[in-house]
Chain A
Amino acid sequence: MTQALDQLSAVLLFSAMGVYALAFIAFTLDLARRSARVGDTVVSGAERVAAARSGAANGYVTTKERSTATIGRSDGATRESVSLRIGVVLAIIGWVLHLVATVLRGVAGGRVPWANMYEFSMTGTLIIMGVFLVALVRRDLRFLGAIVTGLVLIMLGITTVGFRVDVVPLPPALQSYWLVIHVMVAILGTAFFTLGAAISVVQLLQTRREAGAAPVKFRLPGAIPGPVALENTAYRVIVVGFVFWTFTLIAGAIWAEHAWGRYWGWDTKEVWTFIIWVIFAGYIHARATKGWRGSRSAWLAIIGFAAVMFNFGVVNVFFKGLHAYSGL
C-alpha cells in the first residue's frame, strides 16, 4: 500500500513537471511576444507621477515616492496575450497535480511530507508555486511566470534525480511536532525568499534596460514594471520571508533544546540558517541605508537566496552535522 501510493505520487509529480514545462514555454512565448513591442512601458502610478514631477526618466524618484511605487493589481488593465493566459492555466493545473502528488506522499508515509530532502523539495516547490499563484490574485506578477516555473522545474529535476528516497519511518529524533512547525515555516520562508530573489533578478534586468546598457539579447519586454516598483514588491515579499525565517530560527532552537539538550550549538545547519538570517537582516538595513537601495540591495536579496539554496542543497548533503535528515 505504502509503495503503491508512493509510486502514484511519483508519477503525478512527473506529470506536474510536464505541465510546468508547458507552462514555462507559454510564459516564455509571452515574454518574447511582448519584447517584440518594446516601448509599451507600463509604469505604476507613483512612478508616473514621480517621473512627471522630477523629469527623472530613469525611474529613480525620491524616497517618499519610492516607498509607494508598486506593481498594479491584476485587474486586467494590461494587454494580455493568449499565451500568458494559457501559461497561468497550465501553471494552475500543474500545481494541482503537484499538490496531489505531495499529499499522496504524505499519506504513504503516514506523516507530513517534509521529513527528508526529497519531500522537503517537493513541498517547498509546491509552496513556491502556491505563493506565486496566490500572489497573482493581488498583484499582476505574471511576468514572473517564466522565471518561477523555470526555477521550480530545475529544482524538481534535481529533486527527482538526486534526492529521491523510499518512504521510511521517522527516526526518533524527528518524531516531534516541531518537525511540522519548524520545517513548514522554513519552507514558507524559502518560498518567499525565492520569489523575492526572482523579482530582484527582474529588477536588475530592468535597471540595466533603463540604463540602456543591456545587450540586445537580454532586452526585457517593456510591459513589465519599472525597477522601483519591482524593488518595493521584492522588499515586501522578502520581509514576509524574513519573518518566517526568524521564526524558523527560534523554533529550530526550541526543538534543538528538546532533542539535543542545547538551543544553539553552531552545528553546520544552524550556522547556515544564521548566516541567511544575517544576510537578510543586512538586506533590510540596506533598504534603509543611503546608497544601498536599488541594485545593491537587489544583489543582497539574490545572495541571500543563493545561501538558502546552498544551505539546502549543499550543506544537507555534503556537510557533517547533527541535521542528518537528508535521507540520502
Chain B
Amino acid sequence: MSRRSDRGDATDASADPLRPADALPSGADRGVADSDLRPSDHIEGADAAIGGPKLGFVGSLRFAWRQLTSMRTALFLLLLLAIAAVPGSLVPQRSSDPNGVSQYAQSNPDLFPIIDWFQGFDVYTSVWFSAIYLLLFVSLIGCVLPRANHHWKAMRAKPPRTPGRLERLEHFESRDTDGVDVEATLASAQRLLRSRRYRTARYGDSISAERGYLRETGNLVFHISLVGILAAVAVGGSLGYSGNKVVVEGEPFVNYIGGYDSFNRGRLVGDDSLVPYRIGLDELDVTYETENQNAVGAPLDYTAAVTVTEPDGSSRDATIKVNEPLREDGTDVYLLGNGYAPRVTVRDPDGNTVFSGSVPFLPQDSFLTSLGIIKVPDGLAEQIGMIGFFYPTPRQLDSGAFASSFPDLNDPLLTFSVYTGDLGLDEGVPKSVYELNTEGLDEVAGPNADVAGLQLREGDTVDLPNGLGTVSFDGVSRFGSLEIHHDPARTWVLVFAILVLAGLLTSLFIPRRRLWVKVVRRGDGSLELQYAGLARSDDPRLGEAVTDLADAHAGPRADPGADAGQHGSRGTT
C-alpha cells in the first residue's frame, strides 16, 4: 500500500472501467458517463477536476460544494461521527442517566464544569455532534440528488455500445459455428439475455446487454431512507412527549401534565394535547424464583393489572408487563420499575392523624431492601423527618443490623431513624420526596441518638421519642413505576429503517454487469460467436455468467480444457 499514492490509484480509475478503453466511439453513452454522477473521487469515477483552478465567487462556492459532497468528505465525516460518539459512552448522559450526572458532579467537582462546557453530558444533542451529522447529511443529500437524477435517465437509456475487441476483456468466451443465419443467432441471443432479465440493444452484429440497475436503485433508496429516518426522528422529537409516574396499588394515574412526576415534551406539544385517560393500578403481581439455588429471589415476572378509564367514562381491564406495554390513545404505557410502599400513619399524642399514606420506598438491592423518607412538617410539636428502611424478608446480621434475604414479603420489617428540626419545606424550594437533608436536624431516634431506631412489624404502633406522638405500620402495597410515551413518528422511523435494510440488501448483493454477444465473420466465411462480460461492481460470478451464456446460446464447448478458438461448438438456431 505504501507504494500507492492517491494519484496512482486515480490513474487506474481514470480509464473509466465501466467502458473499456477500447470501446466503440459511443455517442449514446457519453451523456450519462458515470463520472458525471458519482462524486469525483468515487473510485469508479474519472479523475475530474478536483481543485482545478476556478474563478470567482460562484466558482469557489461550487468548489466548496463539490468538496463537501465528495466521497472523501463523506468518509471523513463518517469516521468523525464514530469518534464523536465515543465520549458519550464514557461519561453519564443527562438524557439516559440523570442521576449518574449528579453523582459525577459530586465526585468530580473540578472536572464537571469543564466537561459540561463542552456539552459532554449532552453529547448527542451537542452543537459539535449535531454539526457533524448535519454536515454528513447535507453531503449525503448533495451526493444523492444528482445521482438519483442520473440514474433515472440511465434506467431509460439503452445499454452502451459494444466494445471493439471483446477478446481483450478478462471474461471472454468464443464459439465457432459454421454457416448460420446471423440475424437468427443474434435474435436468439437477445431472447436469451432478455429471459435473464438483461436490458438489451442491438449494435451492428452484436447485442449489448446490461442488468443490475436495481443495485443503484437500492443504493439510492438506502441513502435517502437514512435522511428519512433522521427527519422522522426530528418530527417525533418535537411532536412527542414522555414522562413517568410512580403509582401505588389502588391509586390512579391521570394523563395530564400535572399527573406526572417528571415530564418531557417536544417543542410542538401544547398543554392540552394529552388525552386525559386514567389508569388505576389494581394490583402488581411479582413472582420470584424459589427453586433454582443459584438464583433464589430472581424476579421471574412482573404483571400489573390495571383499569383503564377513557375520558368518556368507559373503562376496561388490561395488563402491563415488561416487554408488553399497554397501547392507549396513541401513547404506550410501560412498567419499568417496582418496589414496596409501606402504609404508615403518624398521630399526635391525642390520637389525631397528622400523616397517613403509602410511601414508595426505593429499592436498594436485589432483595429489595428499600429506603424511604417521611416528612411531617405540621401537626406535631416539632417538625419531624424520618429515614426508613424496609426489609420485605428481614434477617438480622451478626452486627445486629438488618438485611433483606428475599424480595417477597415474609413478616416484613420497617425501621426508622427520626429527626426533628426545621425541614426547610417553607422556603418554597422544591425538595425531592426521596431525600432528607439531615444537616441542622437533631437525630432523636436512631444509631446516633439516645433512643434506638424504631422497629415495626406489620400492624405495630410505636411511640415517637419525646412524647411527640405515635407511628403505625398499617400494611404494605407495591408500587409500579409507569413510563408513558407518545411518539407520532415512530412508525415512519420503522418504515425508513426497513427501507434502509431493503436498499442495503439490493445494493450489496445485486451485481451490475454488462454482457455482449457478437458475431464475427471470418475470412473463410465461417462465423465466430464471441461472448464477453464486464463487472460494474463487486461481481464474483461474472466469469460464470459469461460461460453460462455461451453454453446456453451456442452449446457447451466439447472439450472444456481446449483453447478458445478450437472447433467444438454446436451450431445455434
Whether A289 pairs with B44 at a CB distance below 8 angstroms is: no
| Distance between B94 CB and nearest chain A CB, rounded to angstroms | 10
Question: A266 is contacted by which of B74, B95, B170 (Cβ under 8 Å)?
Answer: B95
Whether B82 pairs with A291 at a CB distance below 8 angstroms is: no
A232 at the interface (CB under 8 A from B): yes
Docked pose: A235 CA to B539 CA in angstroms = 12
Whether A281 pairs with B72 at a CB distance below 8 angstroms is: no
B61 at the interface (CB under 8 A from A): no
Residues of A within 8 A of B233 (CB): 264
A239 at the interface (CB under 8 A from B): yes
Question: B323 is contacted by which of A172, A265, A268, A285 (Cβ under 8 Å)?
Answer: A172
Contact A68/B490 with A175-B322, A211-B3, A271-B89 known, Cβ cut-off 8 Å:
no
Contact A259/B323 with A169-B295, A250-B497 known, Cβ cut-off 8 Å:
yes
Residues of B within 8 A of A61 (CB): 12
B4 at the interface (CB under 8 A from A): yes
Contact A290/B6 with A243-B504, A266-B88 known, Cβ cut-off 8 Å:
yes
B79 at the interface (CB under 8 A from A): yes
Q: Which residue of A lies closest to B78 (CB)?
A: A282
A247 at the interface (CB under 8 A from B): yes
Q: Which residue of B lies closest to A276 (CB)?
A: B82
Contact with A along B298-316 (1 / 0, CB 8 A): 1111100000000000000
Residues of A within 8 A of B47 (CB): 290
Whether A279 pairs with B79 at a CB distance below 8 angstroms is: yes
Question: B322 is contacted by which of A172, A250, A285, A296 (Cβ under 8 Å)?
Answer: A172
Q: Which residue of A lies closest to B13 (CB)?
A: A63
B158 at the interface (CB under 8 A from A): no
B145 at the interface (CB under 8 A from A): no
Whether A64 pairs with B501 at a CB distance below 8 angstroms is: no
Interface residues of A, CB < 8 Å — how many?
A: 73
Q: Which residue of A lies closest to B44 (CB)?
A: A63
Question: A289 is contacted by which of B4, B43, B334, B336 (Cβ under 8 Å)?
Answer: B43
| Chain B, range 282-301, C-beta contacts under 8 Å to A | 289, 292, 294-295, 298-301
Q: Is the interface of A mostly helix, strand, loop or mixed?
A: helix
Whether B242 pairs with A262 at a CB distance below 8 angstroms is: yes
Binds A, one of B265-273, B396-404, B530-538, B550-558: B530-538
Docked pose: A271 CA to B82 CA in angstroms = 9
Docked pose: A237 CA to B468 CA in angstroms = 75
Whether A169 pairs with B298 at a CB distance below 8 angstroms is: yes
Docked pose: A254 CA to B95 CA in angstroms = 19
Residues of B within 8 A of A285 (CB): 71, 74-75, 78
A83 at the interface (CB under 8 A from B): no
| Distance between B500 CB and nearest chain A CB, rounded to angstroms | 7
A106 at the interface (CB under 8 A from B): no
Whether A169 pairs with B292 at a CB distance below 8 angstroms is: yes
- Interface contact tally, CB-CB below 8 A: 198
Q: Which residue of A lies closest to B1 (CB)?
A: A295
Whether A246 pairs with B12 at a CB distance below 8 angstroms is: no
Question: B72 is contacted by which of A67, A175, A290, A315 (Cβ under 8 Å)?
Answer: A290
Residues of A within 8 A of B484 (CB): 261
| Distance between B242 CB and nearest chain A CB, rounded to angstroms | 7
Whether B538 pairs with A67 at a CB distance below 8 angstroms is: yes
Whether B490 pairs with A257 at a CB distance below 8 angstroms is: yes
Question: B85 is contacted by which of A274, A281, A287 (Cβ under 8 Å)?
Answer: A274
Residues of A within 8 A of B1 (CB): 207, 211, 294-296
Contact A173/B323 with A289-B41, A289-B75 known, Cβ cut-off 8 Å:
yes
Whether B89 pairs with A315 at a CB distance below 8 angstroms is: yes
Whether B292 pairs with A2 at a CB distance below 8 angstroms is: yes
Whether B96 pairs with A265 at a CB distance below 8 angstroms is: yes
Question: B2 is contacted by which of A213, A258, A272, A281 (Cβ under 8 Å)?
Answer: A213
Whether B501 pairs with A68 at a CB distance below 8 angstroms is: no
| Distance between A324 CB and nearest chain B CB, rounded to angstroms | 11
B66 at the interface (CB under 8 A from A): no
B542 at the interface (CB under 8 A from A): yes
Whether A290 pairs with B13 at a CB distance below 8 angstroms is: yes
Docked pose: A166 CA to B294 CA in angstroms = 7
| Distance between A254 CB and nearest chain B CB, rounded to angstroms | 7
Question: B294 is contacted by which of A168, A268, A319 (Cβ under 8 Å)?
Answer: A168
Whether B3 pairs with A275 at a CB distance below 8 angstroms is: no
Whether B6 pairs with A275 at a CB distance below 8 angstroms is: no
| Chain B, range 1-39, C-beta contacts under 8 Å to A | 1-6, 8-10, 12-13, 15, 17
B415 at the interface (CB under 8 A from A): no
Residues of A within 8 A of B543 (CB): 68
Whether B298 pairs with A64 at a CB distance below 8 angstroms is: no
| Distance between A192 CB and nearest chain B CB, rounded to angstroms | 13
Contact A173/B322 with A232-B538, A243-B505 known, Cβ cut-off 8 Å:
yes
Contact A261/B95 with A172-B321, A239-B508 known, Cβ cut-off 8 Å:
no
Residues of A within 8 A of B501 (CB): 243, 246-247, 250
Q: Which residue of B lies closest to A232 (CB)?
A: B538
Contact A262/B505 with A282-B78, A288-B42 known, Cβ cut-off 8 Å:
no
Extra contacts, 9 of them, besides A261-B484, A271-B88 (Cβ < 8 A), are A64-B17, A260-B334, A261-B242, A264-B233, A265-B96, A278-B82, A285-B78, A289-B72, A291-B5
Q: Give B contacts to A, CB under 8 Å.
A: 1-6, 8-10, 12-13, 15, 17, 41-44, 47, 71-72, 74-75, 78-79, 81-82, 85-86, 88-89, 92-93, 95-97, 100, 123-124, 170-171, 233, 242, 289, 292, 294-295, 298-302, 321-325, 332, 334, 336, 483-485, 487, 490, 493-494, 497-498, 500-501, 504-505, 508, 534-535, 537-540, 542-543
Could you list 16 A-B pairs, sorted by A, with CB under 8 Å?
A60-B4, A168-B295, A171-B299, A172-B322, A173-B322, A173-B323, A242-B504, A258-B324, A260-B334, A261-B325, A266-B96, A271-B88, A278-B85, A279-B79, A285-B74, A291-B72
